[in-house]
Amino acid sequence: MTRTLIKDASVVTMDDSLGDLPRGDILVEDDRIVAVAPSIDASEALVVNAAGMIAIPGLVNSHIHTWEIALRGIGADWVSSRDYFGTLHGNLTHRFEAPENRVVNLAGALAQIDGGTTTIFDWCHNLRHPDMSDAAIDGLEASGIRAVFGHGTAKPMYEDKSAGKSYTEIGQPRAEVHRLRTGRLASDDRLVTMALAILGPDWSTYEVTESDIRLAREYGLMNSAHTYGRPGKRVAPDGMWRLQKAGLLGPDHNVVHGNCLGDDELRMIIDAGCSTSATCIAEMMNCEYPALLGRVERFGGMPAIGTDVDPYFNASMLAEMRRCFYQQRELDNVAAARAGRHPPAAHATTTRSVLRWATMGGARALRMDHRIGSLTPGKQADLVLVRTDDLNMFPSLPGGDPVHAVVMSAETANIDSVMVAGRFLKRHGRLSCPGPALRQLKAELLGVRERVMARGGYAYRPAAAGERIYA
């Protein structure tokens, strides 16, 4: 048995029954938290001095396309999401090969760990054949991160006449789902587990959506779908209502985005037990409606958040939390003013709200809240230590709110340590991946980027005013 004692941290448990400890200890045995208390004596334990640090549960990124890390730095000035779909799904998505999927998923997962994320929903939708799935899973496993591997498929946004049918008519491949779920991803107790990343009623026919959800349930998997809800833009306009009538909506269905959903449909989705994942930064850049955060809470749900797409920005959960806070606080203030109640007696959205979305919200969305999301004895030892003596954080403690400090000030450089399942993957500000191996990985990642862009004939250039770029 391996024992680790984290001492003298400011402990933010995100467990209402435990509360927070201005100064406390966390005892980890093997892969589990066994005690959280003001002071713990533990013989034969590795002692980690966390004085001046904030301990939080590991962040849960509930929606990220991990493979897109190879395409960073090309999309922030795209005119609309059509440029994203055209450039990626109409071209570059299809230029990856299996060995490259291992590289991008390993690099993407390590980048998440570096920024304090311990769990990701890897919405992997560049898959064309089983070797690509295996390679993507290899990359996740090599990183040590906790991950839900969302099996998606590469489907071009523009019709492939040789295929004989639209991508909207192509569902999840049963044989591949069976192979993975009865093989390496059969267990839900391992670090990398499985889900289905489906098109859903906004992007596929109702018949395909129903078939995909029934397939997921047959194999005991959650399913997740991009849901935009724009009137006139949905492949199956009444698809969500039909799914609800058929009994196919529940806690195993995850709605990504959903900004345009009307209150009646959103309430129905939440009442059915579905989870929602907001990716606020990406949505602010491309959607005319705000992220589903406060609206979800108003109807009794708990939002989860994610980072989505690296081509637009560095997919940092720390940055995502801040942006979610800013946007929802602004919406709260505007609503209060319109109702004649500004300034409000108390804010509806606090920094703790946002940290909850990034921890317990994500854990619930992934149906893992019994295992992760809070520093609760019995749960998996997924935690993060944040230094407060760096200039951008100092002097947050003592006397300040540690949640405020993390949400409003913390950057990747302040993440001292990251533990997943009782194992440190980052310590003293450095990833456990050795320096030479990390340098080699960066070289391989650059090679992937250059090959993918060359195969797709892509050359970056700034968009002219109003221009659409489909490379």
pLDDT tens-digit series, residues 48-68? 999 999 999 999 999 999 999
Side-chain-facing half-sphere of 464: CA atoms under 13 Å:
1
**3-57+380-431 and 59-365 in the same fold:** no
The pLDDT tens digits for 11-25 are: 999 999 999 999 999
Which residue do the tokens 């995100």 mark?
14
pLDDT for 468: 55
**pLDDT at residue 33 above 70?**
yes
The pLDDT tens digits for 318-360 are: 999 999 999 999 999 999 999 999 998 889 999 999 999 999 9
Give the model's confidence band at 466: pLDDT under 50 very low, under 70 low, under 90 confident, else very high: low
The secondary structure of residue 372, as a DSSP letter, is: S
Q: Is 447 helix (H, G, I), strand (E, B) or coil?
A: helix
Domain 3-57+380-431 has CATH 3.30.1640.10: no
CB 30 within 8 A of CB 422: yes
pLDDT for 138: 98
Give the model's confidence band at 469: pLDDT under 50 very low, under 70 low, under 90 confident, else very high: low
pLDDT for 158: 54
What is the CATH code for 59-365? Answer: 3.20.20.140
Give the model's confidence band at 274: pLDDT under 50 very low, under 70 low, under 90 confident, else very high: very high
Give the model's confidence band at 160: pLDDT under 50 very low, under 70 low, under 90 confident, else very high: low
CB 259 within 8 A of CB 229: yes
pLDDT for 28: 98
Neighbours of 81 (CB within 10 A): 16
Greatest CA separation found in the chain? Answer: 68
Give the model's confidence band at 77: pLDDT under 50 very low, under 70 low, under 90 confident, else very high: confident
DSSP line for 277-305: EE-HHHHHHH-SS--SSHHHHHTT---EE
The pLDDT tens digits for 392-404 are: 999 999 889 999 9
pLDDT for 377: 98
Give the model's confidence band at 191: pLDDT under 50 very low, under 70 low, under 90 confident, else very high: very high
Neighbours of 464 (CB within 10 A): 9
- Domain residues of the chain, as ranges? 3-57+380-431, 59-365
Token pair listed for 135:
């390679």
The mean of the pLDDT values for the chain is: 94
CA distances from 208 to 80, 236, 265, 266, 429 (A): 27, 10, 21, 22, 46
pTM over 0.75: yes
pLDDT for 249: 98
CA distances from 450 to 103, 151, 437 (A): 13, 25, 20
pLDDT for 231: 79
